[in-house]
């Protein structure tokens, strides 16, 4: 003869049913942390009781009740979570700008590497133009080493839509490689990161010096800055992330280097991750706006200034004032069930 379930078991089932009714009415987020923990306990207990009842041949009404109860609890606990668009919006509008501001010293150091390379190469090539051929790679010398008769037509001719799309894809791929290199070389104790940043700055400085010598400085900066504002900032982001990794290895404190790296890696990744959408936008500008002969040079420089202002406003947005700093706990209404 089958032993009927005890009073304690029935009380647990009733408690589980009450929790499920509450979730149906008010949502999972309405539960307190201890209620979520209790829900998991009651679900496991009811699942065990169901298995025991099935193996012992309990009556049909009891089995039906337990099967329904366990199925409802399973659906709540294991159901796929809906996409929380608000979290994505918060990441772009609040979390990432705050993370960027928190790591500003690494960004300033990365920017200093780029700017240092630019100044050194610019000064060298302005005072001694022949140095350009000796300090720059052959591909750069072939493209920018001689004064073009018509630099717009020969070097930067206007592209049709298909050419612009291919050019944009090529630029994006190349710039992503540079940014990833600047990030990953942080594992070389920062030596590789500094080298990548310095060389990219030096290449820009040497080319700028050539155009300055040719009397084409305005045209050059109108060609570079509309997309270069975003592009250079994205590369600095990758370099800043690489310097965070290097700092974790060079100054682990009392932790092992692997533990220090594991702790700092999320910060570095969060900082560098935004470089991808920035580079995507920069590639589109470089392919579709920069080569356009219908836009005057002052207008293109105006686009660059507007882009720089918008980026600065984004990073210093008024709504960020008073927001919790990265790493500091804030109140959250999100309920998570670990199974």
pLDDT average, residue stretch 143-161: 51
Residue whose token pair is 């927001």? 323
The token pair that represents 127 in the structure block: 């005072």
| pLDDT band, residue 305 (cuts 50/70/90) | very high
Residues 317 and 20: beta-carbon distance below 8 Å? no
Residue whose token pair is 């791929």? 173
pLDDT average, residue stretch 292-319: 87
Q: How many residues does the chain have?
A: 339
pLDDT of residue 5: 60
* Angstrom distance (rounded) from CA 324 to CA 89: 16
* Angstrom distance (rounded) from CA 27 to CA 123: 65
* Angstrom distance (rounded) from CA 68 to CA 74: 10
Average pLDDT in the chain: 81
Q: What is residue 82's three-state secondary structure?
A: coil
Phi-psi sector, 31: left (phi>0), alpha (psi -120 to 50), beta: beta
pLDDT of residue 263: 93
| pLDDT band, residue 92 (cuts 50/70/90) | confident
The model's pTM is: 0.68
Residues 323 and 188: beta-carbon distance below 8 Å? no
**Angle subtended by helix axes 217-250 and 104-127, to nearest 10:** 130
| pLDDT band, residue 329 (cuts 50/70/90) | very low
For residue 85, pLDDT beyond 80: no
The token pair that represents 20 in the structure block: 């499920």
What string of DSSP letters covers 144-201? HSS--SSHHHHTSPPP-HHHHHHHHHHHHHHHHHHHHHHHHGGGGTTHHHHHHHHHHH
Q: How many CB atoms lie within 10 A of CB 28?
A: 19
Residues 250 and 273: beta-carbon distance below 8 Å? no
The token pair that represents 13 in the structure block: 């089932």
The token pair that represents 298 in the structure block: 């002052």
The residues, ordered by sequence, that sit 6+ positions from 179 with a Cβ below 8 Å of its Cβ are 234, 235, 237, 238, 272, 275, 279
Q: Which has more pLDDT, 290 or 64? A: 64
Identify the weakest region by mean pLDDT among 27-41, 231-245, 297-311. Answer: 27-41
Q: How many CB atoms lie within 10 A of CB 246?
A: 24
Q: What is residue 131's three-state secondary structure?
A: helix
For residue 155, pLDDT beyond 60: no
Q: How many CB atoms lie within 10 A of CB 299?
A: 13
Residues 228 and 222: beta-carbon distance below 8 Å? no
Q: Which of 231, 232, 242 is nearest to 287 (CA)?
A: 231
The three-state (H, E, C) secondary structure of 205-229, written as one string: HHHHHHHHHCCCHHHHHHHHHHHHH
pLDDT of residue 245: 96
How confident is the model over 225-278, as pLDDT tens digits?
999 999 999 999 999 999 999 999 999 988 999 999 999 999 999 889 889 899
pLDDT of residue 104: 93
For residue 147, pLDDT beyond 60: no
Q: Which has more pLDDT, 29 or 105? A: 105
Please give the C-alpha separations between residue 301 and each of 107, 123, 308, in angstroms, as whole numbers. 24, 23, 11
The token pair that represents 43 in the structure block: 């679900």
Q: Which has more pLDDT, 143 or 65? A: 65
pLDDT of residue 214: 82
The token pair that represents 313 in the structure block: 């406003």
């Amino acid at each position: 003869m089958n032993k009927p379930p005890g009073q304690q078991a029935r009380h647990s089932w009733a408690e589980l049913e009450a929790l499920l009714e509450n979730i149906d009415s008010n949502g999972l987020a309405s539960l307190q942390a201890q209620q979520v923990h209790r829900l998991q306990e009651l679900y496991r207990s009811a699942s065990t009781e169901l298995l025991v009842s099935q193996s012992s041949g309990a009556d049909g009404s009891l089995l039906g009740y337990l099967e329904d109860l366990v199925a409802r609890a399973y659906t709540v606990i294991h159901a796929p979570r809906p996409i929380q668009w608000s979290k994505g919006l918060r990441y772009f509008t609040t979390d990432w700008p705050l993370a960027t501001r928190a790591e500003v010293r690494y960004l300033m150091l990365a920017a200093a590497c780029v700017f240092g390379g630019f100044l050194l190469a610019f000064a060298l090539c302005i005072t001694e133009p022949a140095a350009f051929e000796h300090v720059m790679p052959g591909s750069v010398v072939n493209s920018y080493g001689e004064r073009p008769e018509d630099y717009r037509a020969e070097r930067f001719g206007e592209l049709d839509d298909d050419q612009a799309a291919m050019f944009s894809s090529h630029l994006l791929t190349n710039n992503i490689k540079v940014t990833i290199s600047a990030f990953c070389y942080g594992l070389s104790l920062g030596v590789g990161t500094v080298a990548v940043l310095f060389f990219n700055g030096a290449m820009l400085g040497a080319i700028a010096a050539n155009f300055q010598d040719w009397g084409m400085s305005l045209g050059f900066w109108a060609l570079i800055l509309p997309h270069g504002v975003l592009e250079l900032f994205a590369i600095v982001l990758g370099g800043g992330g690489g310097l965070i990794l290097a700092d974790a290895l060079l100054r682990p404190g009392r932790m092992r280097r692997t533990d220090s790296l594991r702790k700092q890696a999320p910060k570095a990744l969060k900082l560098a991750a935004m470089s991808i959408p920035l580079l995507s936008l920069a590639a589109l500008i470089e392919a579709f706006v920069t080569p356009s002969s219908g836009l005057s040079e002052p207008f293109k420089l105006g686009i660059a200034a507007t882009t720089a202002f918008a980026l600065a406003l984004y990073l210093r947005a008024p709504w960020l004032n008073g927001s919790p700093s990265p790493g500091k706990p804030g109140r959250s209404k999100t309920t998570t069930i670990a199974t």
